[in-house]
Structure 1
Amino acid sequence: MEENPRILIIRTRATPEQMKQMLEELKFYIKLAVDIERRILAGGGEMHADCEKVLLYEGSSQRNIWGAGFMPSNQNMTFDSLINIRSRQNRSMEILDDTIREQVAQVIQELLGGV
């Protein structure tokens, strides 16, 4: 798999240096792919799909990966991405299932919130 140094897998609370690295591409916003089963995320880079690819390579299951975004400056989260469109699970770019959306938010808050 092609290495992308801007995309990091975060398994424990991100350090300020990791946050800085993930912000290099978009400056104020981090694109994320969140594995709600393993409670990890991949962040940084230009597209959610790039983050998703890293998690798939690391052993995550497609059905557990959801695209989201995070703005550290105001702790705002977004829950829309092309990777969220799935014919059987989610028919929108936005995560429609409240339970899944809450799980994604919890993982983001645990790993990136307040950093």
Structure 2
Amino acid sequence: MIFIIREPATSEQISQMAETYFGLMIKLAVDVEREILAGGGELHADCEQALLEDGSQQENVWGADWYPELKRVGFESLINIRPRQQNRGIEIQSPVIREKIEVIVRRLLEVN
């Protein structure tokens, strides 16, 4: 189940988003401009599509993962391959974009 998260997620939302990967991981697309995310799809591209349909601009949407048990953000996704934005691999290269994603993901998904 894909959720677009604008405010801190509930424990139930996080559990539902994590179901696809047995509670271990949530695939995400994060809009670094609007500071929202979509999570819970089987593919990062599914989450990306949900944000695009919600009005996000593709150049602002990056793929990431959230590991709820480890409280760790991952920065690898096929949707991150975009040479025109100087990102030639699956891992986000820009420290500025990585930091923005880390802050957004933790604000919206890190349940204490």
- TM (norm. structure 1) is 0.93
Checking the alignment, whether the CA contact within 8 Å between 1:75 and 1:114 is kept in structure 2 is no
CA-to-aligned-CA distance 1:14-59 (integer Å, 9 cap, x gap): 0011001101111210000000000000000210000000000000
Deviation at 1:87, TM superposition (A): 1.6
SS at match of 1:25: helix
Checking the alignment, whether the CA contact within 8 Å between 2:11 and 2:111 is kept in structure 1 is no
1:47 to 24, 43, 49: 43
RMSD over aligned Cα atoms: 0.8
- TM (norm. structure 2) is 0.95
- Taking every aligned residue pair, what percent have the same amino acid on both sides? 54
Report the structure, 1 or 2, having the larger helix content.
2
- Is 1:24 the counterpart of 2:19 in the alignment? yes
- Is 1:67 the counterpart of 2:59 in the alignment? no
Q: Which amino acid in structure 2 is aligned with residue 12 of structure 1?
A: E
Which blocks of at least 5 consecutive residues in structure 2 are unaligned?
Answer: none
Runs of 4+ in 1 over 3 A off after TM superposition: none
